[in-house]
Amino acid sequence: MWRDPGAPADSFYETRPECTDVPKSRFRIKAGKTLSARKWHAAFSPEGYLDIGKTLSRIHRGGIHPSIRGEVWEFLLGCYDPKSTFEERDEIRQRRRDLYNTWKEECRILFPLVGSGRFITAPVISEDGTPCQDPLVLLENNPENGPIVPQEVNGSNNLEKVTDKRIINWMLTLHQIGLDVVRTDRTLVFYEKKENLSKLWDILSVYARIDSDVGYGQGMSDLCSPMIILLNDEADAFWCFERLMRRLRGNFRCTANSVGVEAQLSNLATITQVIDPKLHQHIEEIGGGDYLFAFRMIMVLFRREFSFCDSLYLWEMMWALEYDPDLFWIYEEDDEKSEETKGRMKSLRHYGKYERENMKNGAKNGEDPTFPISVFLVASVLKEKSAILLQQARGLDDVVKILNDVNGNLDAKKACVAALKLHKKYLKKEGKVPSISDPEYTWVLRDVPSYASEFTSRDKAEDFATFFSICPDAMVEFIVIKHCTKSN
């Protein structure tokens, strides 16, 4: 049977001609599978309500067409509620743009390069708040138009010492952001334009200022870069990045005693110990029990392991699988409205496939937090390389070398499928999938409006027989709710 191989998507993200070693994308735009502009626009009602169930299903099948990727991501990341109207989203968009511009202006007052179309790669302040006056450093900060220095005080040439510790910490990160910006996605033609580099620097600088608890961490530029490319408006790109950071900021939060990502690395160790105890034991024996070799994969969501185009495909697959229709309200500060919306009954088809699995086995109602799918993606890579790691890895350098061999050789869709299978296997081995004979659980039929029913496990066999004798070909979704209180 002939199958359409699909059209390559690399042309949407043009690479510089001198970069000949860039891996080709495996992602293909396939008619009938990839979410097209036509299917996307047809998913909205005349008022603007989005059929998120159909959208998730299409993304699961074949990803998103690059021409609409940015606007779809805004929903996947929780920027907008799928049950909002066109008018409501326009109001939210304008309000957010105004807020971003206000924050940006506040940053510009503190440091005039913000919003100027330029950026810095050398320090501008010392840790005690003294502005840097080294002529070579000042010139490096702005080689094309002469040195930029902090604003003069009272018209004199004396530079004002900064005393606010938060402002000092922010200004100390500005050159580090610049150093990372010039290294980010440098193979793309898009970043040959300085205004695009400065836009990336501006967004990261503003974010570091408003999220002072986290500030800026290396790797954020890799996470923000696609937003700049996909969304024309800088403020819209900022809010997409800010929503992504809501998921990931814990990885960048550092204290005197720990690094935030250690929690996810610990989760990875837990999963590996359950699904492949021999591999886990071997990794511990060669000194890798902290799983730091997987640090980069988790921090920047496989940006270095996939081509640019494939990494975007992987991200949207992950977000579609993890999608929660309450995401917008979870991120909003209107707690009363959020609780009201979250309390409404929603069809399981409005949730991503991974999220459904968590709900089916009661994880959402239990005390144990659920692991993000990204951890299972890393675990699936380790599982796939298990035999090689057991045979050839005699130290951490060997582990890193073996894992580096996957760079550019992973298939995003297959990786997500493998992660889902591993997730089910983990839940089963951990005993987190409830037994059908356990009276503590209620099994609830969903997405079957004509025959919706609820039954305890004691009545399960009889109700199953009745349902399937009437509707034998039905595709049925089940959700399992653990009894936290006595059932009525």
Kindly state the tokens that stand for 263. 């929690």
Instruction: Tell me if 77 sits within 8 A of 319, measured CB to CB.
Output: yes
Q: What is the pLDDT of residues 136-190, one digit of tens each?
A: 555 555 555 444 444 433 333 345 789 999 999 999 999 999 999 999 999 999 9
Q: What is the pLDDT of residues 387-420, one digit of tens each?
A: 999 999 999 999 999 998 888 788 999 999 999 9
Instruction: Tell me if 412 sits within 8 A of 310, measured CB to CB.
Output: yes
Q: What is the pLDDT of residues 57-85, one digit of tens each?
A: 999 999 999 999 999 999 999 999 999 99
Predicted local confidence at residue 137, as pLDDT: 57
Predicted local confidence at residue 288, as pLDDT: 93
Q: What is the pLDDT of residues 107-150, one digit of tens each?
A: 999 999 999 999 999 898 999 998 887 655 555 555 554 444 44
Predicted local confidence at residue 402, as pLDDT: 94
The single residue listed with the structure tokens 């495996």 is: 26
Split at pLDDT 50, 70, 90, the class of 357 is: confident
In one letter, which amino acid is 452?
A: A
Tell me how far apart the alpha carbons of residues 414 and 419 are, in angstroms, rounded to a whole number.
9
Residue 383 has pLDDT above 80, yes or no: yes
Predicted local confidence at residue 408, as pLDDT: 78
Q: Which residues pair with 125 in a beta bridge?
A: 131
Q: Which of 129-138, 193-202, 253-262 has the lowest mean pLDDT?
A: 129-138
In one letter, which amino acid is 466?
A: T
Instruction: Tell me if 28 sits within 8 A of 7, measured CB to CB.
Output: yes
Residue 246 has, within 13 A of its CA and on its CB side, a CA count of 15
Average pLDDT, the chain: 82
Q: What is the pLDDT of residues 416-452, one digit of tens each?
A: 999 999 999 998 887 765 554 455 444 444 444 433 4
Kindly state the tokens that stand for 478. 């089940």
Q: Considering only residues 96 and 475, tell me which one the structure prediction assigns the higher pLDDT.
A: 96
Residue 484 has pLDDT above 50, yes or no: no
In one letter, which amino acid is 139?
A: L
Predicted local confidence at residue 428, as pLDDT: 87
Predicted local confidence at residue 407, as pLDDT: 82
Q: Which residues pair with 480 in a beta bridge?
A: 443
To the nearest 10 degrees (0 to 180), the angle between helices 234-252 and 86-110 is 70
38-60 mean pLDDT = 96
Q: What is the pLDDT of residues 225-257, one digit of tens each?
A: 999 999 999 999 999 999 999 999 989 987 666
Percent of the chain with pLDDT over 90: 63
Of 167, 168, 158, residue with least CA distance to 128: 168
Instruction: Tell me if 419 sits within 8 A of 297, measured CB to CB.
Output: no
Predicted local confidence at residue 135, as pLDDT: 53
Split at pLDDT 50, 70, 90, the class of 453 is: very low
293-305 mean pLDDT = 92
Kindly state the tokens that stand for 416. 């997500």
